[in-house]
Amino acid sequence: MKMNTSDNINIAAICPATEALGPGMRGAVWVKGCPFNCPGCIAPDWIPFQKAQLMHPDEVVDELFSSDNIDGITFSGGEPMLQAEGLVRVAQLARQRKAVNFICFTGYRYEDLINKPPSAGVTEFLHYIDVLIEGPYISKLNNGLGLRGSSNQRIIHISPRLTDYDFENCLRRAELHIRDGEILVVGIPSKNIESSMNLLTKSLYEEKVCNERP
């Protein structure tokens, strides 16, 4: 399934500053729409191929750099490789501002991305990615460690820029961001706090709904 939004990117969420998705302070971009529908997905609301917020790459970069101290950018979703053409432009514009590094999560295997790209721009996008975290999420293989969701997923160092960071065994972090009345969970929760965060998010959402009722 292809999802090419032309010049615009179908954005699920943007976080201009997080320490939960890789080394250093990072901006994060989540796109909307994913073909994999992995059971237990941490972001089920972003699976459907529905229009969310269409943003031009310049707008995305402006929002990412609203925090001027980021060291890198992490792409996730949804499935970034179905919107690679727009994300290539984000990477290009970001590098013009600062020598940031790039991490990308994808459900596709690296070999498949090379041999049979699922959308326009994938090959060029891979040239910008420093670390690719690839493969579908399998809940029974979630060992609670590292930046990958489950142990079947591979950490591909396309460039040597982030080889000093232990992606497979680093402690997981998760952050709750509340922005414009919306609640965003950023990071990969460890097993022992995932259910607590889900309850907290639900409680905050219910409180928000109650407060908005006339």
Within 8 A by CB and 6+ apart from 202, the residues are none
- At 16 the pLDDT is 96
Domain assignment present for residue 101? The answer is yes
Quick: pLDDT tens for 2-11. 444 458 999 9
Report CA-CA distances (Å) from 115 to 105, 108, 110, 123, 126. 18, 11, 9, 9, 12
Q: Does residue 99 lie within any of the structural domains?
A: yes
The 3-state secondary structure of 15-79, one letter per residue: EEEECCCCCCCEEEEEECCCCCCCCCCCCHHHCCCCCCEEECHHHHHHHHCCCCCCCEEEEECCC
The CATH number of residue 46's host domain is: 3.20.20.70
Give per-10-residue mean pLDDT for the chain (214 aa): 67 96 98 96 94 98 93 98 98 98 99 98 98 97 94 98 97 85 82 54 45 42
pTM: 0.87
2 within domain boundaries: no
As for how many domains the chain has, the answer is 1
Q: 64-100, pLDDT tens digit by residue?
A: 999 889 999 999 999 999 999 999 999 999 999 999 9
Residue at 201 is within a domain: no
User: Is residue 116 included in any domain, yes or no?
Assistant: yes
Beta strand pairing call for 72-76 and 154-157 = unpaired
Task: Answer whether residue 70 is part of any domain.
Answer: yes
